[in-house]
Amino acid sequence: MSNKISVGQIKTALGPFFESPGVPAGEAIRHPGRVFIGKASAHGQQTDGSVTGGSWLQSFPSGGTINPVVAWDYAEDQGRLVVVSDFGLAISAASRTFGGTDAQAVNGFALNDRVGTWKAWGGYFDASRTVAGSGNATGIEVNVSTQPGVSPRGGATPYNAYANGQTVGIAVAGGSDAAAFGNSYAVDALLEIRHNGAAAHTGINLRFDAIMREGMADDRTTPGNVGYARAISMATEQGLSWFSRDPVGAPGTQAEALRITSSIQSPTVLQTLNFGDAGLYFNSRAPGGLDLDADPMFCVDYVAGADTYLGIFPSGPAATPGIAARGDAADIDILFSPKGAGLLRLNTTIGAASVPANFSAVHFLRIKGAGGSIYYVPLATGAW
């Protein structure tokens, strides 16, 4: 007699989902061993590497450098519930709040509770294209939508409060639910992009129509190409860090070399740094201002093929900072160009010693020489 249970033998009595006093729940299917479904049904249940039977997961052809692939067999050899299919959806799970409780379609929990190098994954996904000309392969796609209307949160910022009714594509949180485990020590990273046999062309790619443009109405219209879109929002003094390249070949010994951050505290100090067709603009802006080039405080004009440029150099204590011409040419002038009838103005303190009798700030230019001496150059007479 076969020890396999046929589908026709599996029957359960009708009844409620939960047991309650005087009302028994419907019967549940219980099995203390293992379950193999679909192409996995012929698995012999031997240890990994010594399996008889099994599905195509034991060995399948690949267009890569390792062919055939045999490393995925562990998913079948070590699984408690194994479903392997040749088409369609191997496992589907769906839930809704209609029954009066929170709905979670799929849960994955992994507990690392053994000393050693064993690893734990709450979820693991792997998708591979193995045939030239095949369609896309996506490790995970997460889709969310808000159908009844706009979010009560009005978009997430680093400081606005959580709100009931918001929608978030992926929420990555440190800790394992403070109500269950309490607070955790800091985790190493909330998102880490790794090389595991392949490099990516781009680490994070934002499609042009993926983010709402500032000032547009949230009316289901697809965003276009025009207007500011907040790709990343960070709180004060959160920033971006770059590490040094050297020492090469010694991972973990590089230093955090560069930071870009904001320490602005006042909500009225609004600034932008914008690269446009005309050049680089460092601007102030009015509250709610949408124009990225409004109210420039400093700009660097764009010049294609520029070879000469300005350098600004700082100095140590009690020394002199300066502005210098830079470029490949041996001799480069510096041009100060007022606009229209504007004047070139130098604000400096007039020294008490060696001042000419006929000195006038209108007709003389006061210059400090290399040795520290003060020189008065008459301008009105053309001696300059």
pLDDT tens per residue across span 84-114: 999 999 999 999 999 889 999 999 999 999 9
The pLDDT score that the predictor gives to residue 291 is: 62
Residue 83: CB atoms within 10 Å: 17
Query: Is there a domain that residue 22 lies in?
Result: yes
Cβ-Cβ contacts under 8 Å for 57 (sequence gap 6 or more):
39, 40, 72, 73, 75, 76, 84
Query: Is there a domain that residue 232 lies in?
Result: no
Q: Is residue 239 within 8 Å of 219, Cβ to Cβ?
A: no
Query: Is there a domain that residue 95 lies in?
Result: no
Tell which residue, 122, 126, 120, has the closest CA to residue 108.
Answer: 122
Q: Is residue 111 within 8 Å of 120, Cβ to Cβ?
A: yes
299 burial via Cβ count (<10 Å: 0-12, 13-18, 19+): middle
Distance in angstroms (rounded) separating the CA atoms of residues 196 and 173: 24
Sequence letter at residue 343: L
7 Rama class: left (phi>0) / alpha (psi -120 to 50) / beta:
alpha
CA distances from 29 to 7, 234, 238, 266, 282 (A): 12, 49, 52, 62, 67
Residue 309, classed as helix, strand or coil, is: strand
Distance in angstroms (rounded) separating the CA atoms of residues 368 and 330: 24
The pLDDT score that the predictor gives to residue 99 is: 87
Query: Is there a domain that residue 110 lies in?
Result: no
Q: Is residue 172 within 8 Å of 191, Cβ to Cβ?
A: yes
The pLDDT score that the predictor gives to residue 39 is: 95
Query: Is there a domain that residue 141 lies in?
Result: no
Structure tokens at 26: 């419907």
The pLDDT score that the predictor gives to residue 153 is: 87
Among candidate residues 57, 90, 123, the one where a domain is terminated? 90
The label of the residue with tokens 């994955």 reads 108
Query: Is there a domain that residue 327 lies in?
Result: no
Positive or negative CA dihedral for 359, 365, 366, 367?
negative
The pLDDT score that the predictor gives to residue 195 is: 95
Exposed e or buried b for every residue in 183-214, given b needs 16+ CB within 10 A?
eeeeeeeeeeeeeeeeeeeeeeeeeeeeebbe
Query: Is there a domain that residue 6 lies in?
Result: yes
Cβ-Cβ contacts under 8 Å for 206 (sequence gap 6 or more):
231
Among candidate residues 39, 61, 90, the one where a domain is terminated? 90
The pLDDT score that the predictor gives to residue 347 is: 59
The pLDDT score that the predictor gives to residue 8 is: 67
Structure tokens at 304: 């294609």
| Pairing mode, strands 296-301 and 271-276 | unpaired
**What's the pTM?**
0.81
Q: Is residue 359 within 8 Å of 370, Cβ to Cβ?
A: no
Positive or negative CA dihedral for 208, 212, 217, 218?
positive
Among candidate residues 54, 72, 90, the one where a domain is terminated? 90
The pLDDT score that the predictor gives to residue 348 is: 54
Show the low-confidence residues of the chain (pLDDT under 70): 1-8, 12-13, 288-293, 345-354, 361, 366-373, 379-384
The pLDDT score that the predictor gives to residue 31 is: 85
The structural domain count of the chain equals 2
The pLDDT score that the predictor gives to residue 60 is: 94
The pLDDT score that the predictor gives to residue 371 is: 62
H-run or E-run covering 75: helix 74-77
Distance in angstroms (rounded) separating the CA atoms of residues 74 and 71: 7
Question: What is the extent of the structural domain holding 82?
Answer: 1-90
The pLDDT score that the predictor gives to residue 380 is: 56
Query: Is there a domain that residue 82 lies in?
Result: yes
H-run or E-run covering 276: strand 271-276
The pLDDT score that the predictor gives to residue 382 is: 44
H-run or E-run covering 376: strand 374-378
What distance lies between CA 74 and its chain's CA centroid? 32
